[in-house]
Each structure stands twice: as C-alpha cells, then as structure tokens.
C-alpha cells in the first residue's frame, strides 16, 4: 500500500505540473479529474447517462492497474506500465439508477470507479459526457447480470473490459428472471423498452429460469421481445444460454440439465435457434460454444469457470469464467458484424 501511495503522489504531482491551467473568474464547476479521486477510488457526481473516461496509467515505479466501476463492472483490464512510463486508455461507461440489477438497490448516485490490479497507479483521469456512443443493452438472468457480491459474476459484468471508447454496456439482466417474469415486471421490460434508441444493439439471453415454461409460451415470449426491440428501432440478437456444468460418466455434458432442456422437455436453446431463424434475428450460440469449451476442459479443468470450488455451484460463473464467456460474446459481436473490430479490445 505504501508503494502505491508513493506512486499515486508522484503521478498526481506530475499530472498537476502538466495539466494545470489558470482558474477563470467564471469557473464554477471543478473539472472531473484527479481531484475526484482518493488512493484507490474515484467518485464523480454526474447524473445518469453515458460517459467517456480517459485515464493515464503509470508513474515513477512499475505498475499494473485495472479499473472496475459501479456494481463491480470490469471496465479496463489490468494494464502493466514500466517504471517512469505512462499509457493512456479510454472506455465508455453507462451510469444509471439502480446501478446494478434493475430490481436491486439504487446504489451510489454518480459514477464510482475502483482502482485494482497488482500495483495500481493513476496519473490522470478525465470524465466527459459521451456523444454518439454505440449502446449494447443486455436482457438476461443471473448468469448475465451485474452480480452485487463476490465471488459471483455474470458475463455481462465482464463484457465492458473488452470494448473500447465509444461503446457502452447497459446491463439490464436480473437474477432469477424467466421470459415470463421479465416481460411481466415493470422494472424490467417495462423500463428497458422505452430506453431503446434506434440503432441500439440488444442481446437477449433468457432460459435458465424458464424451467416450467411450455414451448408455445417460450417461443411467443421471445417473439414479443424481438418485436418490441424492433418497434423502438433497436437491433435484437438472441443468445442461447451458457451451459450448466453437469457431466455424464463419459465426460460429455448431460443432455437435459447441462444443455437447458426444461422440466417439460422443451429444448430451450433449440427454440431460441428456431426463433432466430424464423424472425431473421442474429444468433449468438453460447450454448454450443460453452459446451465445447467445458467438455474440452473436462470435469476438473472446468471447475474454475464456475463457482464449484467456492459454492459447489455448477450454474453461476466465477469472475474468471464470466470473463472467458464475455470474451466469447466479444468474438461473436465481431464475427456477426454487430460491432466493428476497432471497437473491441483483443487480448
């Protein structure tokens, strides 16, 4: 901690020397920068909206810095800097109330950022309103949402770190939701649909909690979501659910529990694929991708993707697993031409 404080003090001094400007008599609002930061966090008193954040990382000593924000969203992957060197990185962040799950607590007003990594050092930071940013809206369940507490993490919570400035993620996934409950709850679909702007990309992954939804209802609910997104000028993409980590004796995943065949025998990923085809909607087949990955890792190797080691949980992902799965989504966004390659971070 002492090393970090020295690095931050040096960075603050350097930044002040480089960027200080004479105060004007009419200045009333201080700039949104280092003055809003402490040793390991920053708070910016801004209203809900979308903001561009530009940071300069590094300082007198070697450093390695990651940035999370709001409800544990990973906004910038850990970035190493050599002693005496700095690097500039930018990202775009969505600020809203509630700041995490739509049915959860409001959280802290404004934008909150946390500095992490093995040896964090922040030399400078600037926060400005974003203009013409692309928006990705997420509709999903607990495997997607901004999970409030460690060790849980949804893939939507990790997705922002893979995106560059100019693309924001508004994660409206919520724990425990099915297609039925998401459409019925005014805090969910009733809140999200009016927020969709023309051109917004809306990813829908709802299946894990449709355990007793019959096929006709499930299909109709997906069609309702697709139509509602299109009515607002949005671009829908259907996402099949991540698999559950349930193995057969031969090392393959269980056809029912793991692959999301529900209690009525409905092959939920199969219905999603069918709706995507009939409605002409882009499909991201996370079921197929995560099945291949989990089976390739095997019974032991796949434990780290889920919370098996921590909670004996084979459904919810660890931060590591959520990051790996978010990387699959990132790759699909580029491969399906939903985002240009220059808007994503690779590696």
User: What are the pLDDT digits (tens) for 204-222?
Assistant: 999 999 999 999 999 999 9
Mean pLDDT of 308-334: 98
pLDDT tens digits along 158-167: 999 999 999 9
State pTM to two decimals: 0.91
Return the pLDDT at 346. 82
Q: Per-residue pLDDT for 78 more than 70?
A: yes
Task: Phi first, then psi: give them for residue 233, nearest 5 degrees.
Answer: 85, 10
N-term to C-term CA, the chain? 28
SS3 200: coil
pLDDT tens digits along 268-297: 999 999 999 999 999 999 999 999 999 999
Mean pLDDT of 305-323: 98
Domain with CATH 3.40.50.1110 in the chain: 132-341
Strand order in the sheet with 63-69: 41-44, 111-119, 63-69, 73-81
Domain with CATH 2.60.120 in the chain: 1-17+33-129
What are the DSSP calls for 203-223, one per residue? EEE--TT-TT--HHHHHHHHH
Q: Per-residue pLDDT for 229 more than 50?
A: yes
Q: Per-residue pLDDT for 13 more than 50?
A: no
What is the average pLDDT value for the chain, to the nearest integer? 92
What's the CATH superfamily of 132-341? SGNH hydrolase (3.40.50.1110)
pLDDT tens digits along 21-40: 333 333 345 569 999 999 89
Q: Per-residue pLDDT for 12 more than 90?
A: no
Report the top-level CATH class of 1-17+33-129.
mainly beta
């Amino acid at each position: 901690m002492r090393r970090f404080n020295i690095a931050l003090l040096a960075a603050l001094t350097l930044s002040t020397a480089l960027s200080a400007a004479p105060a004007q008599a009419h200045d009333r609002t201080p700039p949104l920068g280092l003055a809003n930061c402490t040793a390991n966090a920053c708070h910016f008193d801004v209203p809900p909206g979308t903001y561009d954040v530009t940071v300069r990382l590094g300082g007198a000593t070697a450093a390695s810095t990651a940035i999370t924000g709001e409800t544990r969203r990973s906004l910038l992957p850990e970035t190493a800097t050599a002693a005496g060197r700095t690097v500039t990185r930018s990202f775009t962040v969505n600020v809203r109330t509630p700041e995490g799950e739509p049915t959860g607590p409001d959280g802290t007003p404004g934008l909150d950022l946390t500095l992490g990594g093995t040896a964090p050092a922040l030399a400078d930071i600037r926060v400005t309103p974003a203009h013409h940013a692309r928006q990705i809206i997420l509709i999903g369940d607990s495997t997607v949402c901004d999970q409030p507490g460690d060790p849980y993490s949804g893939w939507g919570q990790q997705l922002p770190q893979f995106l560059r400035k100019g693309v924001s993620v508004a994660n409206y996934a919520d724990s425990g939701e099915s297609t039925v409950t998401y459409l019925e709850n005014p805090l969910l679909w009733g809140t999200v649909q009016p927020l969709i702007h023309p051109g917004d990309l809306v990813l829908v992954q709802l299946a894990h909690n449709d355990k007793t939804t019959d096929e006709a209802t499930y299909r109709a609910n997906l069609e309702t979501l697709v139509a509602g997104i299109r009515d607002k000028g949005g671009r829908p993409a259907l996402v099949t659910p991540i698999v559950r980590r349930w193995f057969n004796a031969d090392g393959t995943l269980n056809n029912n529990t793991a692959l999301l065949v529900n209690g009525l025998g409905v092959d939920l990923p199969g219905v999603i694929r069918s709706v995507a085809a009939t409605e002409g909607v882009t499909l991201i087949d996370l079921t197929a991708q995560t099945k291949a990955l989990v089976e390739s890792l095997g019974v032991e190797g796949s434990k780290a993707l889920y919370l098996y080691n921590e909670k004996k949980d084979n459904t919810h992902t660890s931060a590591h697993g959520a990051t790996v799965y978010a990387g699959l989504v990132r790759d699909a966004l580029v491969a399906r031409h939903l985002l240009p390659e220059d808007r994503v971070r690779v590696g």
